[in-house]
């Protein structure tokens, strides 16, 4: 019986030594791989050289796009449909304007112009309804149309401003 126990102790010791050697070898392999990997990230820290694009020059190359007039506040008399408000399409534009005023809170349209040619202005407009005295947040909507036979819709714009009826 003592020989069996000694025999098992020898096998156990041999297995334990093999396990410790295996753990040592695996640890050594992991450490060697970590040292050979380089940086953790693979991002190349070099930058592209800036480039410029050459474009063909045309007679319209100095045209920055559609010019939209802005409003911060519009003042009108209360309880009147016909009011004085300047609505203009700048002369530099190559599109027709159609301008609408909408009550921002409800989306209710209170004015919509017909087409306005570049360089033309309106000085008196007729609202769809007279407004009671007060301050209204409105959206000024610019619809733009090409000056072609089909009046092709172009990019438009919306601006927010205050309308004060007094």
pLDDT in tens, 36-50: 555 544 444 444 454
pLDDT in tens, 19-73: 777 777 777 677 766 665 555 444 444 444 544 555 544 444 455 689 999 889 9
Q: Sheet holding 157-165: strands in order across?
A: 73-76, 157-165, 134-146, 95-103, 109-112
pLDDT in tens, 76-123: 999 999 999 999 999 999 999 999 999 999 999 999 999 999 999 999
Question: Do residues 131 and 83 make contact, with C-beta atoms less than 8 angstroms apart?
Answer: no
Q: What end-to-end distance do the CA atoms of the chain give, in Å?
A: 115
Q: What is the pLDDT of residue 12?
A: 73
Measured at the CA of 134, the angle between CA 128 and CA 135, to 5 degrees, comes to 90
Output DSSP code: residue 153.
Answer: B
pLDDT in tens, 115-151: 999 999 999 999 999 999 999 999 999 999 999 988 8
Collapse the DSSP code of 73 into the 3-class scheme (helix H, G, I; strand E, B; otherwise coil) and give the result. Answer: strand
Q: How far apart are CA 145 and CA 128, in angstroms?
A: 23
Say how many C-beta atoms besides its own lie within 10 A of residue 142's C-beta.
21
Domains of the chain by residue range: 1-32, 73-165
Q: Domain 73-165 belongs to what topology?
A: Immunoglobulin-like (2.60.40)
């Amino acid at each position: 019986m003592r020989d069996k126990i000694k025999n098992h102790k020898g096998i156990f010791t041999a297995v334990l030594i093999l396990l410790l050697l295996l753990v040592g070898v695996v640890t050594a392999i992991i450490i060697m791989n970590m040292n050979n990997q380089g940086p953790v990230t693979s991002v190349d820290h070099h930058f592209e050289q800036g480039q410029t694009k050459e474009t063909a020059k045309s007679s319209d190359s100095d045209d920055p796009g559609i010019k939209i007039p802005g409003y911060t506040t519009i003042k009108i008399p209360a309880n009147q449909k016909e009011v004085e408000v300047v609505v203009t399409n700048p002369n530099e534009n190559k599109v027709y304007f159609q301008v609408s005023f909408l009550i921002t809170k409800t989306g209710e349209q209170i004015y919509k112009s017909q087409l306005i040619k570049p360089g033309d202005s309106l000085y008196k407009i007729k609202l769809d309804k007279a407004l009671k005295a007060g301050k209204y947040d409105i959206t000024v909507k610019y619809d733009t149309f090409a000056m072609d036979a089909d009046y092709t819709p172009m990019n438009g714009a919306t601006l927010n401003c205050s309308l004060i009826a007094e």
